[in-house]
């Protein structure tokens, strides 16, 4: 039984034996989305587990198979704290990827499938507070996107919600403050056709713009009491006509 344990420990030790090399001793060649790593001045693909050092003291740990990243990737800051973890399959990112600041606080999390962003991408502040959630499907924006923000206007906190399908904007986008006040909306009828609305603080409509093929087609401007004061018509994104309306006051 002792021999079995010793053999197992020896095998485990050999399996994770790492070779140290500086980053400037490596040459990388890309073929499309695949990257192959060679020892400089040699036609020799990297093979096995490596610790790769950088001039600033940071380093990464990664296994190579025929010159490509394979398995778990780990990166460290120059102060020794964890910087990133990722996973590779056949040289492509596959699975969860996480980034940390130099205090080892998580600042971003991504998910990949065969080299393409797939699933949620989460962004955090330097203090580790979630600020955005973006969803992808096979490398394309797909589903609900949510972002928290602090406005330069009175320092109000708010949220922005967007929707995508196959990388195209769809549905009803809205940006509003935590007190419920709506700042602006976009309503898509087609990927390049939408109505853009902005509101006054009292929630009356301030500006309503219509876009066709991503070019402005018309615009209406209202005063704070809700009266229409200016209408603008456009052709190919250029203003061609303006109508001013007298206020009832």
- List pLDDT tens digits, range 194-216: 999 999 999 999 999 999 999 99
Please tell me the distance from the alpha carbon of residue 170 to that of residue 162, in angstroms, as a whole number.
8
CB 202 within 8 A of CB 183: no
pTM score, whole prediction: 0.84
CA quadruple 142, 148, 152, 157: dihedral, nearest 10: 140
Higher pLDDT, 27 or 152: 27
Q: Is the pLDDT of residue 249 over 70?
A: no
Give the pLDDT confidence score for residue 248 in this predicted structure. Answer: 65
Q: Which of 59, 73, 49 is nearest to 23 (CA)?
A: 59
Model confidence at 20, in pLDDT bands (50, 70, 90)?
Answer: very high
Give the pLDDT confidence score for residue 113 in this predicted structure. Answer: 97
Share above pLDDT 70 across residues of the chain, in percent, rounded to a whole number: 92
Query: How many CB atoms are located within 10 Å of the residue 247 CB?
Result: 9
Give the pLDDT confidence score for residue 239 in this predicted structure. Answer: 97
Please, what is the average pLDDT of the chain? 92
Please tell me the distance from the alpha carbon of residue 89 to that of residue 151, in angstroms, as a whole number.
41
| Mean pLDDT for the stretch of residues 175-184 | 95
């Amino acid at each position: 039984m002792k021999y079995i344990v010793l053999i197992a420990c020896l095998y485990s030790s050999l399996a994770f034996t790492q070779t140290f090399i500086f980053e400037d001793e490596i040459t990388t060649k890309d073929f499309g989305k695949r990257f192959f790593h060679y020892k400089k001045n040699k036609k020799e693909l990297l093979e096995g587990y490596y610790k790769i050092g950088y001039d600033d003291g940071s380093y990464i740990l990664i296994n190579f198979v025929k010159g490509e990243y394979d398995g778990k990737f780990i990166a460290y800051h120059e102060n020794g704290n964890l910087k990133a973890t990722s996973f590779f399959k056949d040289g492509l990112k596959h699975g969860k990827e996480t980034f940390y600041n130099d205090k080892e606080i998580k600042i971003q999390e991504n998910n990949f499938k065969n080299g393409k962003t797939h699933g949620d991408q989460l962004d955090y502040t330097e203090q580790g507070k979630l600020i955005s959630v973006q969803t992808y499907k096979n490398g394309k924006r797909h589903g609900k996107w949510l972002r928290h923000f602090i406005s330069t206007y009175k320092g109000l906190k708010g949220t922005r919600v967007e929707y995508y399908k196959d990388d195209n904007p769809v549905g009803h986008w809205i940006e509003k403050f935590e007190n419920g006040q709506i700042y602006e909306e976009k309503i898509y009828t087609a990927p390049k056709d939408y109505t853009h609305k902005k509101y006054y603080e009292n929630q009356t409509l301030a500006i309503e713009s219509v876009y066709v093929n991503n070019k402005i087609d018309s615009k209406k401007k209202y005063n704070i009491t809700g009266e229409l004061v200016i209408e603008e018509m456009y052709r190919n994104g250029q203003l061609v006509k303006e109508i001013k309306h007298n206020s009832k006051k």
